[in-house]
Amino acid sequence: MHEGGRKDKLISLFKGVVLPLADAYSATSSSFHWSAHDKALVVADTRFSVDSLRHIYLVGAGKAGVPMSRSVIDTLQEDAGLWARFAGGTVNVYRDQSAASVPGVTFFAADHPNPNRASVEGAQAALDLISGAGHEDLVIAVLSGGGSSLLTLPGESISLEDFREANRTLVTGGATIQEINTVRKHLCRVKGGRLRLAAPAATFVTLVLSDVIGDDLSSIASGPTVPDSTTCGDAVNVLKLYGLWERIPECCRHHLLKGDPEEVRRAELWKEQLAQRTHNVIVASNAVVLWSLHEQLSSTDHSTIADEVHLDVQPVLGSVEESLERHLCLATSLSEADGRTTLLMSGGEPTVSIPPGVAGTGGRMLHYALMAAVRIAGRKWTVLASGTDGIDGTAPAAGAAVDGDTVRLARQHGLEPEHFLAAFDSYGFFEELEKRSGERFLNVTGPTGTNVNDIMLWLL
């Protein structure tokens, strides 16, 4: 198979196999369903008798918000008595996803990676909707990747633009997602368990499509429905650790230094009242998708992909540079084993640290792919790196596929990969290379309606 054919093969594999395995509707339906036999709503191992419920509300945020909401509503509509108890829903989703129609649910066209006005309006609408919920009411929350930006209500004295500036600094500053969310939780009135606190008397069920490696519930969408163990002091320490403290707006620094006198009260409320009435269920994650992918590709039906399939079980964390070097070492050892064609699979969420003043277009997977192109130049290898949400950073692509001939082809057409890497303009590189060469490199899926982190595939 020629090099371009291998790139196309990996892109087709991502679209045709990986994305269906990460399908948000199916994942939600597997953990949330109606039992006609005993007239109960079943959430994982917990059952709610329809007769015990007065009102049911739906709130949430994330790039998988539409299919997750549709799954919940389809389940509620399976029984007339259950559906009669539905009192409305409001979910913040990504941009044009808000045009979707799901009975009883209002979608807000929020934005990512930086919140917009709809992010704030939708967050306030969710608080308003559930603020009157009582002991006989059930609140269902659907959360998925991107929720930290899509669901935002800046703290008092912090404007949306100031929050956006702090967020821009955070997501390009090299901190881990947990550290980023530690700061965002303390600049916002809906993160860090505060959405749950809006309806303390109600029972809360959160269905989570995890985009955080290790499935830390307090980090997914910045944990709006789980207790927060961090403090304003922790947020200050994160910003200072990465040299970002002086780069965020003064009002945000003042807010964090002032502290939060309600931290102790909230912790006591969680312990005494909320914990026993709060249920959190992971419906899908990066690890689940990778294991399913390994199982599927190891079958005879997919044996044409490669002779062997190797799953790297170590999650991809840390910098893109460190992750790439580790994968390069692993790929080298696998390719030298016996000469057979091997597919190396890995997943996770590396970080990219972008210097101040750099304004290229791209994201961590496009940056990874371009760096990989340089490191595998001349080898008969092909690498695909893509985000499962379909949008990589600021680029309108999920990622890209490269091979050992990509760098030669680029230079032949007057493009220097190192120049684009230094400018953090990986999308610009691949877009221009496609125009000049006529070959496909970019993996363009559009918003996928799901988000279980990033997938990296090496065909050796």
Residue at 415: amino acid letter: L
How far, in Å, CA of 369 to CA of 253, rounded? Answer: 36
The CB density around residue 451, as the number of other CB atoms within 10 Å, is 28
Q: Which residue has the higher pLDDT, 250 or 304?
A: 250
pLDDT band at 357 (very low <50, low <70, confident <90, very high): confident
pLDDT band at 3 (very low <50, low <70, confident <90, very high): low
pLDDT band at 400 (very low <50, low <70, confident <90, very high): very high
Helix, strand, or coil (residue 355): coil
155 within 8 A of 188, measured Cβ to Cβ = yes
Token digits of residue 69: 């909401």
The CB density around residue 4, as the number of other CB atoms within 10 Å, is 18
The pLDDT value recorded for residue 356 is 87
Q: Is the pLDDT of residue 172 over 90?
A: no
| Range in 206-210, 354-358, 454-458 with the lowest mean pLDDT | 354-358
> Between 3.90.1150.10, 3.40.50.2300, 3.40.1480.10, 3.30.470.10, what CATH number should domain 3-14+306-459 receive?
3.40.1480.10
The pLDDT value recorded for residue 91 is 98
pLDDT band at 303 (very low <50, low <70, confident <90, very high): low
**Residue found by looking up tokens 């917009």 in the block:** 116
Q: Which residue has the higher pLDDT, 195 or 302?
A: 195
Q: Is the pLDDT of residue 337 over 70?
A: no
Letter string b/e over residues 367-383, b meaning 16 or more CB atoms within 10 A of that residue's CB: bbbbbbbebbbeeebbb
Nearest Cα to Cα of residue 458 among 380, 391, 388, 348: 380
pLDDT band at 4 (very low <50, low <70, confident <90, very high): low
| Range in 69-83, 164-178, 294-308 with the lowest mean pLDDT | 294-308
Query: C-alpha angle 135/42/294, rounded to 5°?
Result: 135
Element (H, E) at 375: helix 364-375
How far, in Å, CA of 317 to CA of 315, rounded? Answer: 6
- CATH topology for the 24-284 domain: Rossmann fold (3.40.50)
pLDDT band at 365 (very low <50, low <70, confident <90, very high): very high
Domain boundaries, the chain: 3-14+306-459, 24-284
Q: Say which residues have a Cβ less than 8 Å from residue 288's Cβ, sequence separation at least 6.
A: 452
Q: Is the pLDDT of residue 2 over 90?
A: no
Residue at 85: amino acid letter: R
Nearest Cα to Cα of residue 384 among 22, 18, 1, 2: 18
Q: Which residue has the higher pLDDT, 45 or 338?
A: 45
Residues 189-247 have pLDDT tens digits of: 999 999 999 999 999 999 999 988 888 899 899 999 999 999 999 999 999 999 999 99
The pLDDT value recorded for residue 394 is 92
Give the residue-averaged pLDDT of 115-144. Answer: 97
The pLDDT value recorded for residue 458 is 98
Cα dihedral 422, 425, 429, 435 sign: negative
53 within 8 A of 34, measured Cβ to Cβ = no
158 within 8 A of 187, measured Cβ to Cβ = yes
Whole-number average pLDDT of the chain:
94
pLDDT band at 304 (very low <50, low <70, confident <90, very high): confident
Q: Say which residues have a Cβ less than 8 Å from residue 113's Cβ, sequence separation at least 6.
A: 146, 149, 167, 171, 393, 394
Q: Is the pLDDT of residue 298 over 90?
A: no
